[in-house]
Amino acid sequence: MSIFIDRSTRLVVQGITGRDGSFHAKQMAAYGTQVVAGVTPGKGGQTFETDDGGSVPIFNTVEEAVQNEGANTSVIYVPPAFAAGAIMEAADAGIEFIAAITEGIPVIDMTRTYAFVQDRGARLLGPNCPGAITPGVAKVGIIPGQITTPGPVGVVSRSGTLTYEAVNQLTEAGIGQTTCVGIGGDPIIGTDFIDTLQAFSDDPDTEAVVMIGEIGGTDEQEAARWVKENMEIPVVGFIAGQTAPPGRQMGHAGAIISGSAGTAEEKMRVFEENGIAVAKRPVDIRILIQEALGL
């Protein structure tokens, strides 16, 4: 089992002819994901060739991809100025799960976009996220497939490469993952920690969860309280940004300490208060998971 993506995932790649979109469409197809369609306005009727000789039809609209190929999941690589529109187009076409990889969508646009997506009943992951991967089954986004392996640990994170670091260490130690989910580093995101933790809780195969957060906002704190109330499986946490100065944006638009709120220290304390084992270094994530699983 897994969360969000599985064998029934039928993926449409929005922006499939762009630099990032074409590269990752090939990677996702090579991983075994059912890439059933691409969308680039003006290029409908063409096809996209994958590395293994497969041929993916390109449509002008997501609606056509849904009608003709039964797409139920979308991944978005279009440039920031058009990405909010692409998300709403996917939701309007009835796509159930939308992963927005694009970084740099104006936040004010996302406030309207996310409200629209919720009205349509779709699930949005991101934006500014690495997507999700169910090892051995399918990947939607940019997480390198080779660092993952199937197993019992769910991973949810606001970061990209830091997630790879943690997942890689788990894999090297022989501990596999059910699904790895990058929720994104922007202030306004769709699926959040609690949504993902809920999904892991409902997944019978997930036996423990790694939650990787960072400075800024209160999502981690709220998630920690939710964990204490609702989760039966162990959760291991890590927070990046202990050395970050207040008031400065650390790369991610959402990674900023405002006043005294959102510090790493505060988040780690709330984790501990709510029964989440806190890793002091990335390497300790693996060690704490091994302890939690009794390995």
Partner 1 sequence: MDIHEYQAKELFRDSGIPVPPGDVATTPDQAEKIAAGYGGSVVVKAQVHTGGRGKAGGVKLADSAAEAREHASRILGMSIKDLTVQKVLVTPAEDIESEAYVGVLIDRATQAPMFMVSPEGGVDIEEVAATNPEAIRKLRVDPRYGLLPHQAYGLATFLYEDPKLVKQATRIMGQLYRAFTDNACSLAEINPLIVTPGGEVKAIDAKVSIDESALFRLPEVAEFRDLDAEPASETKAREAGLSFVKLDGDVGCCVNGAGLAMATMDLVKYYGGQPANFLDIGGSSNPDKVVAALEIITADPNVKAILFNIFGGITRCDDVANGIVEAARRIDIKPPIVIRLTGTNEEEALQILEEAGFSAFTSMDEVVEKAVELAAQA
24 assigned to active site: no
- Of residues 30, 80, 73, the one with CA closest to residue 52: 30
Closest CB to partner 1 among residues 104, 275:
104
Closest CB to partner 1 among residues 38, 185:
185
Closest CB to partner 1 among residues 265, 291:
265
245 binds partner 1, rule: CB under 8 A: yes
**Binder among 10, 26, 139, 252 for partner 1 (CB under 8 A):** 252
Q: How far is the CB of 8 from partner 1 (least distance, A)?
A: 26
1 binds partner 1, rule: CB under 8 A: no
Residues 6 or more apart whose CB falls under 8 angstroms from that of 54 comprise 29, 35
- Of residues 112, 108, 101, 109, the one with CA closest to residue 79: 101
**Binder among 13, 95, 244, 289 for partner 1 (CB under 8 A):** 244
225 binds partner 1, rule: CB under 8 A: no
132 binds partner 1, rule: CB under 8 A: no
- Of residues 167, 164, 187, 186, the one with CA closest to residue 175: 167
The residue annotated as part of the active site, out of 10, 24, 252, 267, is 252
161 binds partner 1, rule: CB under 8 A: yes
Window contacting partner 1 (CB under 8 A); options: 35-43, 55-63, 109-117, 200-208:
109-117
Site string for partner 1, 135-154 (x = CB under 8 A): -------xxx--x-------
Identify residues 46-85 at the interface with partner 1 (CB under 8 A): 80-81
Window contacting partner 1 (CB under 8 A); options: 28-36, 40-48, 200-208, 211-219:
211-219
185 binds partner 1, rule: CB under 8 A: yes
Q: How far is the CB of 127 from partner 1 (least distance, A)?
A: 10
- Of residues 172, 112, 127, 123, the one with CA closest to residue 148: 172
Q: Is the dihedral of CA 203, 207, 213, 219 positive or negative?
A: positive
Q: If 0-12 CB within 10 Å is exposed, 13-18 middle and 19+ buried, where does residue 163 land?
A: buried
Window contacting partner 1 (CB under 8 A); options: 8-16, 61-69, 101-109, 132-140:
101-109
Closest CB to partner 1 among residues 63, 116:
116
114 φψ region: left (φ > 0), alpha (ψ -120 to 50), beta (else): alpha
Provide the edge-to-edge strand list for the sheet that holds 150-157: 138-141, 131-134, 177-182, 150-157, 208-214, 235-240, 277-278
Q: Can you give the binding site for partner 1, defined by CB under 8 A? A: 20, 23, 80-81, 104-112, 114-116, 130, 142-144, 147, 157-165, 168, 185, 187-188, 212, 214-215, 217-219, 222, 238, 240-245, 248-255, 259, 264, 280-283
